[in-house]
Structure 1
């Protein structure tokens, strides 16, 4: 590709959902009474969120006043495309819950981003199916289905046959991925073989499985909001090592698993730690062999995993050679206030201005296209019309200085495997005689 070619930008993390009360036509009639009771409790839930500090009344009022038109894109496809165009985003992966301030677009029975393993099995599946039906209609009827990959809600701790059936139904309806609970609570952990039929059908249908930040044991935090925000990204990351160490990625080599809206800052140290254990570092020698694995953990992450690293930070990009350039999928988080919308173009310039162009292309869109199966040929005309170009991001046409600046970090890569120290530790040296 040439310097003049625009970036094909795909957001790995966006959100859509109806105003909650409008989900009624998508619910089975048997659940309408329970749905009325759920709606009646909405104000009480908002008041409790305000009391706990999860909701800021002054911020909420200002946010809705200043962004009223753009926020309609949470369920209005035409407005949504207008907002994506303004941000330079050609396509998106669509998670639930468009409103992350007042929860007025929450999926029925709280099965959106708060989906948890202890969900009522009947109401949980009913609410998930209602959202999944609406999302499929939304994508089909919006006039630009090539721009969206819908993520089906999947209460995976329910009876396995029902879970598999919903995966197949959602896939047949045009959805392209599934979101499972970050927390199984009192149900079987994800190393349990009861989930193998779910992993198998997702591998068969090439539907990536994703966890997303949101659920957490909030009852443990009391009024101490800092505890919640410190560990809210821990819970969606936790299933990764349950799947990896139990051999799920070994048994299902084509399965793709991702962690969304939890950053990727935690992954370098996790890979270092897990690889050292597997490769026989001193601290792991007393343990039994990890018989479920035939490769180092980082190799499974490279093959099976991706990180939907919403609003990717400079610090994270500085560690991209440890994380894996092919693992990072940028996201805007539209239309949530903690994301980059409506200032995405400036965010991209600030974040990627000194990153090599070929790597920027991968992290801003091509990685996501590969994971979620976007048709890049159909998206190219959209990117030509709205996509930012390297010059827009402040990236020079002559990349020699940029490449030279990053060469030491690229050479070091995963230092525990390459035999190099970090660049700031001085001259690279082999690891012989030292610990990993």
Structure 2
């Protein structure tokens, strides 16, 4: 189908289906809110010793632009008070209802997976997951959660996965890509095995917390560098998991790269395939080209969408990546929020648009039965 045909077809079709938003960031109404979900011992620990993470700025986000006062939509502050995305009623009013969100996937940005005290990390992840249920999932049937796990504490991560896997309100396992070691290392494989066993994708969100900086050289001077480097973390995790053989070992493992962009993927696949052709003897455990694993095991969310100077170049990106690899996300309530009707600066064919904004996520996160029940 040529570009002109795609434009005409897209212009004549008005979507009647819902949207799946794969990146919503719920917030605490106040800093003490999470503590209420912790056992007394860890409430006291948090009060007396605080959080110790790889973040060099204790008690704050590494860049002011990431804080609730600066990194949010100006209209996202709830009338009832509290930071953006901390009030369910206002989230329903501003996001779920007007954008016809059929399902919204929560991506909590909290430090439970990255604290140095691993026992405390277990407690924090359990508290975050309990908080998701109590404040969001039990009250709004359109929302779905992510199982937060302490990935550096594999035993604790497996325990939390087993605790939540049967609860269909959780549809993925959240792991930050900036781990202590490259994501493909075998120390993390038990988590991937559990994810594949339960049919839960691994969701890696590039921003906010992690054990490492987003760049190989360390923390950057400016937020603009940090924001750009979201794609670095995604690429590093992806290449490690491919070449270490995680997808070869666990063919059913599914990886979702969240908020890392996607324009970098085609040249990365070209380069991986070229190097594999030349040096495949170093990785004999791979039975096929690296790009083939991307095509069978990897998905990406759309926000932040790269916007080339010539908008039509997006057609090339979609053709190279394939619409089946992309899933729509708003990144609500952050300042670079994407609206489903305006995110793509080129018209999409009705088939590609529906795949990206709804059907890919419905299939990947096994939401078909619930979607049919609502129809």
- TM-score normalized with structure 2 length: 0.81
Q: Please report how far the alpha carbon of residue 267 of structure 1 lies from its aligned counterpart in structure 2 after TM superposition.
A: 0.5
Taking a change above 3 Å as real, the CA distance of residues 48 and 77 of structure 1, as seen in their structure-2 partners, is: closer
CA separation in 1, counterparts of 2:150 and 2:22?
21
Number of equivalent positions: 347
CA separation in 1, counterparts of 2:257 and 2:66?
24
Note the residue ranges of structure 2 that are not aligned, 5 or more in a row. 1-11, 309-313
The one of 133, 145, 149 aligned to 2:144: 149
Q: Please report how far the alpha carbon of residue 248 of structure 1 lies from its aligned counterpart in structure 2 after TM superposition.
A: 1.0
Contact 2:19 2:99 in 1 (8 A): no
CA separation in 2, counterparts of 1:74 and 1:292?
45
CA separation in 2, counterparts of 1:119 and 1:54?
25
Residue 178 of structure 1 pairs with residue 176 of structure 2: no
Of structures 1 and 2, the larger Rg is shown by 1
Q: Please report how far the alpha carbon of residue 205 of structure 1 lies from its aligned counterpart in structure 2 after TM superposition.
A: 0.7
Contact 2:177 2:204 in 1 (8 A): yes
Aligned to 1:430: none
Q: Please report how far the alpha carbon of residue 298 of structure 1 lies from its aligned counterpart in structure 2 after TM superposition.
A: 1.5
Contact 1:72 1:79 in 2 (8 A): no
CA separation in 2, counterparts of 1:63 and 1:356?
30
Contact 1:128 1:155 in 2 (8 A): yes
Contact 1:247 1:292 in 2 (8 A): yes
Give CA deviations for 1:290-312 in whole Å, capped at 9, x if unaligned: 31111211211111110022243
Q: Please report how far the alpha carbon of residue 72 of structure 1 lies from its aligned counterpart in structure 2 after TM superposition.
A: 6.5
Residue 121 of structure 1 pairs with residue 114 of structure 2: no
Aligned to 2:206: 213
Residue 321 of structure 1 pairs with residue 323 of structure 2: no
Give CA deviations for 1:266-321 in whole Å, capped at 9, x if unaligned: 1011111112223x2xxx25x62531111211211111110022243454554012
Map 1:24-423 onto structure 2 (within 5 A).
Answer: 24-37=35-48, 53-54=64-65, 59=70, 67-69=77-79, 74-83=85-94, 84-97=96-109, 107=110, 110-111=111-112, 115-116=113-114, 119-142=116-139, 144-145=140-141, 147-158=142-153, 160-173=154-167, 174-185=169-180, 188-214=181-207, 215=210, 216-217=212-213, 220-221=218-219, 223-278=221-276, 280=277, 284=278, 288-315=281-308, 316=314, 318-340=316-338, 344=339, 346-348=341-343, 351=344, 354-375=347-368, 378=371
Note the residue ranges of structure 1 that are not aligned, 5 or more in a row. 98-106, 383-436
The RMSD of aligned alpha carbons is 3.3
Taking a change above 3 Å as real, the CA distance of residues 73 and 369 of structure 1, as seen in their structure-2 partners, is: farther
Higher share of residues assigned helix: 1
Residue 8 of structure 1 pairs with residue 18 of structure 2: yes
CA separation in 2, counterparts of 1:48 and 1:167?
28
The DSSP-based 3-state class of the residue aligned with 2:281 is coil
Aligned to 1:426: none
- TM-score normalized with structure 1 length: 0.70
Q: Please report how far the alpha carbon of residue 339 of structure 1 lies from its aligned counterpart in structure 2 after TM superposition.
A: 1.3
